[in-house]
Amino acid sequence: MSDDASPLWAGRFSTPPAPEALELGRSLHFDVRLASVDVDASIAHVRALQDAGLLDTEEAPALEAALAAVGDDIAHGRFVFHDADEDIHSAIERGVTDRLGDLGAKLHAGRSRNDLVVTDLRLWSLAAGHRIDGLVVALAEALIARAREHAGTVMPGTTHARLAQPVTLGHHLLAHGWALARDLERLREWSTRTSTNALGAGATATSTLGLDPLATAGRLGMQRAFENSIDAVSDRDFVQEFLAVAAILATHASRLASDLTRWTDESLGWASLDEAYSTGSSMMPQKRNPDTAELARGKAARVAGDFVSLTALLQGLPLGYHRDLQEDKEPAFDAADTLELVLPALAGAVATMAFDVEAMRAACGNEGLYATDLAEALVRSGVPFREAHRRTGELLKRVDEEGRTLADLTDDEWERFGVPEGSGVLDPDRSVRARTTAGGPSPESVRAQADSLARIVSASAVLS
């Protein structure tokens, strides 16, 4: 570099950039997070240059050592950034050149920031995906542990948020767990596609220097190299897919959070969040608010926004690198940061919350919860379902009009209704046990689900 304050591309220019143009172009304040992967990618590139005979056995190790030292300085806050450092890639190259002089000028042969930034972002997002995968596993394991504890705890199941049929608390908790298992599957599939090296693609048309992108992939622990150099520098669907997976995951977290706020509503009283995951009110001394759950719910909005931002950025953009693509990073960073905040808090809330087993059982005293069981008892004795539905509805209407309850019906009345064991049907434990279908709410099913979910969740981690 001729002059410390000149941009990397100054050779062809006579006029320096306007300060406001420089300011608009700067990304260092956010892409500094790519520093360590940029060093890794640059070291892999140095080896590719050495393999191609463009660096000798002294130059390559010197460049690698300088890159590692710059990376270390950045990690420890010792690196002095200059105003002219537009982004992390140019800052690191400048740091290497400051250390090595002329030799530093050999680093950028056969590469462009276009292939470098994509490779960096792939490496960064794989590492973020790996961390998020671990956090999803931890949340799923918290749900599984609580579900095993409450495999036989009866509670009213709802549809339309209205009492529907008895279920078990373990069954409901595992429903959230199965959603997370799909998120893990999505993350793991995404990571396979994302594990692609773009270095060697250059600005758009590779180079004449005989670099081997596959060898670079191997050095970066990536599964493959790009198949098409234009695609390599244009593709951001790995970020878009990461954000789609993140948005779905955040949606699942928000729905779990929503159930936690509902169950801990004191007018329902089925559960309470541990004080460590609750907050008080600045005005009302009695309050214990579920802010952890509310924020887990609310933060899903910004992750969805991150996906929408990137999708809007990409749609209609012609192939090739465009500076617009610099806008891909903040949504990716924000989504990962948000999930890394939400998931551990939610796992802690689930692990420590107290369930009021008796309140849930008491809520199962609502006789309407057994209406479907009664209709199905008629079906088992040969009554067509539509007729069974009507007869059960009429029975409920009659006892209601007479100011009685189903529990008041005599054996004779049950006999006439067609279900001699009628009053025995009004039992939540019996109701859940009678549902022998795999995947149903019975305690046996909950235990079997917990076992298979635990196996799936621990099966394989996302690539890093």
Catalytic residue positions, numbered: 160, 281
Q: What are phi and psi of 297, to 5 degrees?
A: -70, -50
Q: Which of 47, 44, 66 is nearest to 56 (CA)?
A: 47
**Rounded distance between C-alpha atoms, residue 417 and residue 149, angstroms:** 38
CB of 90 to ligand ARG, least distance (A): 8
Residue (240 or 431) nearer to ligand ARG, CB: 240
Residue (292 or 309) nearer to ligand ARG, CB: 309
Q: What are phi and psi of 282, to 5 degrees?
A: -70, -20
Residue (124 or 277) nearer to ligand ARG, CB: 124
Residue (36 or 258) nearer to ligand ARG, CB: 36
CA atoms lying within 13 Å on the CB side of residue 224: 8
Contacts of residue 426, Cβ cutoff 8 Å, sequence gap at least 6: 367, 370, 406, 407
Q: Which helix (H) or strand (E) holds 127?
A: helix 113-149
CB of 94 to ligand ARG, least distance (A): 14
**Tokens 């530093």 correspond to what residue?**
104
Strand partners, 289: 279
C-alpha to C-alpha distances, 386 to 368, 383, 398, 435, nearest whole angstrom: 18, 8, 18, 20
**Rounded distance between C-alpha atoms, residue 257 and residue 371, angstroms:** 30
Q: Which of 178, 173, 152 is nearest to 454 (CA)?
A: 178
Residues lying near ligand ARG in the complex (CB under 6 A) are found at: 27, 31, 87, 89, 113-114, 117, 321, 323, 325-326
Residue (326 or 392) nearer to ligand ARG, CB: 326
**Tokens 């304050």 correspond to what residue?**
5
Residue (25 or 152) nearer to ligand ARG, CB: 25
CB of 25 to ligand ARG, least distance (A): 8
Residue (87 or 356) nearer to ligand ARG, CB: 87
Q: Which helix (H) or strand (E) holds 156?
A: strand 154-159
Contact status, residue 423 vs residue 410, Cβ threshold 8 Å? no
Residue (184 or 199) nearer to ligand ARG, CB: 199
CB of 275 to ligand ARG, least distance (A): 44
- What single-letter DSSP state applies at residue 368? G
Q: Which of 256, 261, 258, 270 is nearest to 175 (CA)?
A: 256
Tell whether the torsion through CA atoms of 187, 188, 192 and 197 is positive or negative: positive
For residue 157, the SS3 value is strand
**Rounded distance between C-alpha atoms, residue 93 and residue 82, angstroms:** 12
Contacts of residue 390, Cβ cutoff 8 Å, sequence gap at least 6: none
For residue 192, the SS3 value is helix
Residue (323 or 386) nearer to ligand ARG, CB: 323
CB of 114 to ligand ARG, least distance (A): 5
CB of 22 to ligand ARG, least distance (A): 13
Q: What angle is formed at CA 269 by the lines to CA 267 and CA 274, rounded to 5 degrees? A: 125
Q: How many residues does the chain have?
A: 464
